[in-house]
Amino acid sequence: MSEYRISQAWGRGELAVKIWPGSEAALPILAVHGWMDNAGTFNELAPRLRGHAIHALDLPGHGLSDPRPAGMRYHNADFLDDIYAAMAHIAPNNGPLILLGHSLGAGLLMLIAGIFPERVKALILIDGLGPISADPANYARDTRAAIENLATYNPSRKPIADIDQAVAARRHGVAGMLSERASRALCERALRQTAAGELRWRTDKRLRLNSLMRYSEAQVLACIDAITAPCLLITGDQGLPNTLGKNQPRYAQRLAHFKQLEQVALEGGHHLHLDDCPERVADAINAFLAAQGG
Q: Which CATH superfamily is domain 2-137+216-291 in?
A: Alpha/Beta hydrolase fold, catalytic domain (3.40.50.1820)
User: 270: Cβ–Cβ under 8 A, 6 or more apart, which residues?
Assistant: 34, 103, 127, 175, 176, 236, 238, 239, 240
- What string of pLDDT tens digits covers the 294 residues of the chain? 899 999 998 888 999 999 999 998 999 999 999 999 999 999 999 999 999 999 999 999 999 999 999 889 999 999 999 999 999 999 999 999 999 999 999 999 999 999 999 999 999 999 999 999 999 999 999 999 999 999 999 988 889 989 999 999 999 876 668 999 999 999 999 999 998 889 999 999 999 999 999 999 999 999 999 999 999 999 999 999 888 776 788 999 999 999 999 999 999 999 999 999 999 999 999 999 999 987
Q: Kindly report the pTM of this predicted structure.
A: 0.96
* R_g of the chain, CA atoms, integer Å: 18
- Give yes or no for a contact between 263 and 254, defined as CB atoms under 8 angstroms apart: no
Please give the sequence-ordered ranges of beta strands (E in DSSP) within the chain, or none if there are none: 2-7, 14-20, 29-32, 54-58, 97-102, 120-126, 172-173, 176-177, 191-193, 199-201, 231-236, 261-266
